[in-house]
Amino acid sequence: MDQSLTIPGRYVPTELRWNPYAPSNYAEQGGYMVFDPFLRNNRSTGELIPYLFQEWSIDGTRLTINLREGDTWHNGEPVTAEDIVTKYTIDSIFGYPVADYLNGVTAVDDTTVEYRMADSYQEQVIMTILAQSWLNTPTSEYGQFVERYSDDLSEEELTTLQGDIQDHEIEEPVGSGPFQFESANQQVLTLSKNEDHPSADQINFPYYEVQYMGSNQQQWAAMKNLTGLDATTTTIFPSRIRETLPDAVRQFLIPAYNGYSMAFNHNDEDFGRRNVRRAVANVIDQKAIGELSDITKTAVEVPAGVGSFHTDTWRQHLGDEADSFSSYRDTDRAAELLRQEGYSKEGGTWMKPNGDPFEFEIPVPGGWSDHVTLTNVVAQQLSDFGIEATNTNVENTTFFGQYWGPTDFKMCPWFWNNSGQTAPFFIQSWLLNSDTVTNLGFPEEPPVPPLGDPSGETSPFDTTGKLQELATVTEQSQREQLVKELGWAVNQSLPIYPIVEDQSQAFWDTSEWDVPEKESDALYVQSHYYWLPRIGAVSARQQS
């Protein structure tokens, strides 16, 4: 059988870079098969799935990992614990999030690694963090940079080292994954199966190809005509196109635990006020916006940083207190909150305490078509209420350089969970304590009323301390209570206002491929392209 699994790629194959720290054109889709992940986590069940990391144990702040034995790089050299040390060191040089949770790592022997954790983290937390790592820095390539690194480097020396790593060119990658580099031309990156890989027996096709497709339209046409692609995953696949797909194409919809939101500038004279944010949230009818969208979107009924709103799992986390959380769909309450802050309505227009009209622009990247559409609705809802909001479409570079970068806006569209994870700890950390909300001017200790009493007297809420507790506490009842308290802080302080939750979309051609049923738990392990083939959940059909 000479069948290949073909997926889309964003870059011309001959222009790809195999250095994961390169600022552009990284061969991400190919890299997912050329390199191996440390482990995986199921975003639905919470299961931790061993892979390169086979076994682990925690003793206080010491995390010991046993590697899968017998792994080799594509050049024949063994994969060892020293390669894990190299990966951690390079990530630390760039200040990647893993360095916030770990203080160092030691190769105990060839197949044993010992991490020193920054705190006594729960197994689920620290292993989910490590599940985002890939072994894509062989010591044979990157050891030279590790040798140059030390904690006492000056800022200038560190910047130089980072630049040298980013500039490092790799003509052909040396990986340890189930596929290895074969060739690349202007259209197709071809990888051939590595028969020595531990997952090789699960894979019944010899080639993995990444087809360059510079637009979504090309992907839509390829799936509609069953030409050029075997699968695609995308957040943009319009219903008008989906409805024309042949019966052989199976669609999967997976809750994203993320989606369209409004980001507030907390240093702004208006949106720095909690009551103004709450008032605007009450004007924006997220339920109506969700109903206006297609099946891939649904309303975030209660902002709390927990669960999915496609499956209603958010209620499971909030328990009996769920109904006390604010749902923000009350324009009378919006008017009351504004008046409490000294705003008044004159001739149908809301006026600020200083007598100026309450009006502003909402900058939106013009290329973000979904965000443009939804922001038009938001602006109209605000204007109908008497707050003169205007949707202003700008180029992407203008948005990031003129608006988002310097936080020069009052509110603008964004996302409400870019952590890539689904557990409450990660979503709530992103909403309350990430670089994003820090850049928005959100305080470390926002004023929050008592749990369950939105009209109660506010007091400073220690977001950092509560998140640290959630990451380390082992008692289930304590964790559940902390999730509710942190969810309440999100709900009442509104660092960002979540409006709708997306679903990620995947499409597979079943005329040539056996794929899982739509209810399969395997679908919740990122991502379809590179995980399902590794475990035999996607296999080539025998061609007659």
Ramachandran bin of 117, using left for φ above 0, alpha for ψ from -120 to 50, beta for the remaining angles:
beta
Six-digit token string for 215 = 């637009």
Longest dimension (CA), the chain: 78
DSSP letter at 50? E
Six-digit token string for 308 = 């999915």
Average pLDDT across each block of 10 residues of the chain; the chain has 544 residues. List them in order: 87 96 94 97 92 97 97 97 98 92 96 97 96 96 97 95 97 96 97 97 97 90 93 82 93 93 98 98 94 87 95 92 94 98 97 97 90 95 97 93 96 94 95 94 97 95 97 94 98 97 93 94 91 96 66
C-alpha to C-alpha distance for 450 and 66, rounded to whole angstroms: 45
User: What pLDDT was estimated at residue 235?
Assistant: 64
- HEC string of 201-238? HHCCCCEEEEEECCCHHHHHHHHHHCCCCCEEEECCCC
CB 246 within 8 A of CB 297: no
Kindly give, in sequence order, each residue whose CB lies less than 8 Å from that of residue 99, ignoring residues fewer than 6 positions away.
91, 92
User: What pLDDT was estimated at residue 278?
Assistant: 98
Q: What is the SS3 assignment for 338?
A: helix
Query: Which one, of 231, 248, 229, 251, lies nearest residue 239 by Cα?
Result: 251
Beta bridge partners of 66: 55, 112
Looking only at the bridges linking them, the beta strands covering 207-212 and 4-9 are parallel
Kind and range of the H or E element at 56?
A: strand 53-59
Q: What is the SS3 assignment for 541?
A: coil
User: What pLDDT was estimated at residue 238?
Assistant: 81
Q: Looking at 374-457, which runs of residues are DSSP E strands?
A: 388-394, 411-415, 447-448
The owner of tokens 């220690």 is 462
Query: Which one, of 231, 197, 230, 223, lies nearest residue 535 by Cα?
Result: 197
Residue 520: CB atoms within 10 A of its CB come to 13
Six-digit token string for 244 = 């024309």
CB 186 within 8 A of CB 12: yes
**Residue 22 burial by Cβ neighbours in a 10 Å radius (0-12, 13-18, 19+):** middle
